[in-house]
Structure 1
Amino acid sequence: MLDLKTIGLIGGMSWESTVPYYRIINETVKARLGGLHSARVILYSVDFHEIEQLQREGNWTSAGLILAGAARSLQAAGADFLVLCTNTMHKVAQELEAAVRIPLFHIADPAGEEIRQAGLSTVGLLGTRFTMEQDFYKERLRQRHGLQVRVPDQADRDIVHRVIYEELCLGQVLPESRREFRRIMARLVDSGVQAIILGCTEISMLVKPHDAAVPLLDTTTLHAVKAAELALAS
């Protein structure tokens, strides 16, 4: 019998960016194994309205408790490891890890490894205000992967954050917002970044590789592909 690990997905933040995880994971498994093979996946999808309110209030403790409960449910259902389908909520990664015995596959690591293997050292980071301004994500990239991390200025961070929550999380992809992201990414390139991490799972809905003069690291795709490969590893 095939020794394929079961992936426990914690999704719904937002559901628009969780859908590609399921597709990419299964595409990767099928490409590797062929035939009618697909991934073993258990999905726990939260109500993002509740999580977003807690984010806005700065109540990360309560948000962490919700996701820790999801992690325990996935462990009880038979998941071998966890994939949290969001960048921002990795702020509570330690709370999830403490709640279960199975490992959490951190979303920043595939991007960090990809950049390091390419021989690059200075990266731009786009994401929610929490991801760009707080240390939980940037410090992992610095400490674990030796990267210098730069973010847009305050005004541009406000634009990125607004577009994520008021448009992309609602499934809206607007040309004017794409133009703004192109401008923001161009400014990061002018500041010396060698690649840009799309550190929010919705951003890849809006911008594509041709929208920037440097490589764009899509955390959704990288995380999902590497999760599938982890599930396939013996």
Structure 2
Amino acid sequence: MMRTIGLLGGMSWESSAEYYRLLNEETRERLGGHHCAKSILLTVDFADIEAMQREGRWDDAAHALAEAATSLERAGADMVLLCTNTMHRVADAIEAAVDVPFVHLVDATARRVAAAGITTVGLLATRFTMEMDFYRDRMRHHGVEAMVPDEPDRAIVHDVIYQELTQGRVEDSSREEYRRIIAGLARRGAQGVILGCTEITLLVGPADSPVPVFDSTRIHVETAVELALGGPA
């Protein structure tokens, strides 16, 4: 029997929609027929969370998301997925608030990268994820070093996410910029590249990179489905 996956979403809703789609596709691929994932989705208002990010109110964001996670648990979720890379900045507070497993995106991604024999990987994500320590430090625990683009390329990556992708815009010119930035990371020694923001997968994929691509969203979903079906986390 499949366990119920709790999805903590809304950051952005485009990201949550992608999580929901991948979750059900992965479940159907594993179980066949008309199977879909047992899940509960709770969305927060991204306008509130984005303001907390911008203003550096991470404690407020941690409190809001921890409360949302407890609501998922009360509703019957057997595990919690936070459907965003950036807000794993407050993952510890969320994990501490619930008694059910919290499926950590960075752990899942780092294990996949390490299993591929890669020790240095490029990271494309929001400015918060690229510049704060929480993501790269956790990757290092798995023996993986994450490098990020130089300025002004970090600004380009971040602005495309917030000004275009989370607004439902997918621009060819931005795809070309991302391709250029990925190629630059490869030239600097990145053996692979992590798409460390769900919305980025709407813009680029493996065909846009000269090195292997690790889609953190898909890896996160695959890890959760494995756990939900009784496998290892």
Fold shared by both chains (TM-score > 0.5): yes
CA contact (8 A) 2:195 2:214 kept: yes
Structure 2 counterpart of 1:125:
123
| Equivalent residue letter for 1:122 | T
Alignment of 1:49 with 2:78, yes or no, is: no
Map Cα deviations across residues 141-192 of structure 1 (whole Å, 9 max, x no partner). 001x101111001211011111110000011000111111111111100100
Query: In 2, Cα distance between the equivalents of 1:16 and 1:233?
Result: 29
Query: In 2, Cα distance between the equivalents of 1:26 and 1:183?
Result: 33
Map Cα deviations across residues 63-93 of structure 1 (whole Å, 9 max, x no partner). 1111011101001011111000000000000
| Equivalent residue letter for 1:37 | H
Instruction: Give how far 1:208 is off.
Output: 1.5
Deviates more, 1:22-31 or 1:134-143: 22-31
CA contact (8 A) 1:29 1:232 kept: no
Alignment of 1:137 with 2:108, yes or no, is: no
Percent identity over paired residues: 55
Please list, as runs of the form range in 1=range in 2, the aligned pairs for 1:156-171 lying within 5 A after superposition. Answer: 156-171=153-168
Query: In 2, Cα distance between the equivalents of 1:24 and 1:185?
Result: 24
Query: In 1, Cα distance between the equivalents of 2:229 and 2:19?
Result: 16
Query: In 1, Cα distance between the equivalents of 2:69 and 2:156?
Result: 32
Secondary structure of 1:154 counterpart: coil
Map Cα deviations across residues 119-149 of structure 1 (whole Å, 9 max, x no partner). 1110011101110000111101001x10111
Structure 2 counterpart of 1:224:
221
CA contact (8 A) 1:123 1:147 kept: yes
Structure 2 counterpart of 1:202:
199
List alignment gaps of at least 5 residues for structure 2: none
Secondary structure of 1:86 counterpart: coil
CA contact (8 A) 1:122 1:194 kept: yes
Structure 2 counterpart of 1:84:
82
Structure 1 counterpart of 2:150:
153
Instruction: Give how far 1:116 is off.
Output: 1.0
Secondary structure of 2:169 counterpart: coil
- Residue among 220, 227, 230 paired with 1:233: 230
- Residue among 77, 80, 96 paired with 1:98: 96
Structure 1 counterpart of 2:24:
26
CA contact (8 A) 1:123 1:193 kept: yes
Structure 2 counterpart of 1:192:
189
Instruction: Give how far 1:36 is off.
Output: 2.1
CA RMSD of aligned residues (A): 1.0
TM-score by length of 2: 0.97
Query: In 2, Cα distance between the equivalents of 1:38 and 1:140?
Result: 32
| Equivalent residue letter for 2:163 | E
Query: In 1, Cα distance between the equivalents of 2:29 and 2:175?
Result: 32
| Equivalent residue letter for 1:95 | A
Map Cα deviations across residues 89-108 of structure 1 (whole Å, 9 max, x no partner). 00000110111111210111
Alignment of 1:11 with 2:9, yes or no, is: yes
Runs of 4+ that moved beyond 3 A:
none
CA contact (8 A) 1:26 1:228 kept: no
Query: In 1, Cα distance between the equivalents of 2:99 and 2:139?
Result: 24
CA contact (8 A) 2:18 2:198 kept: no
Structure 2 counterpart of 1:62:
60
Secondary structure of 2:152 counterpart: helix
